[in-house]
Amino acid sequence: MDTTKVFDALDRKIERMVSRRPFGSADTLQRAAHQEWFSLSREDWLEAIGHHPRVGDRDALRARFAGSDAGV
């Protein structure tokens, strides 16, 4: 995986949210996040979801954070 491409894409997504500030309320923030999420392409969704361990996969979490004291 080309981590540079992943971080570049993430930076662009973060910049889109930052450019919408100030939010004024949690509702405004949530609405903006909802709009940004649903403006993404299918490939963007798969990329975002692909970086998260499956729900309940403790072995994957232990491997990913082996050097921390997370105590998963």
pLDDT score, position 28: 94
Residues 6+ apart with CB under 8 A from 64: 53
pLDDT score, position 7: 65
pLDDT score, position 58: 87
Peptide bond into 53 cis (omega under 30): no
Q: Where are the domains of the chain?
A: 3-54
pLDDT tens series, the chain, 72 aa: 555 666 666 777 788 889 999 999 999 999 998 998 888 888 888 877 777 777 888 887 788 778 776 555
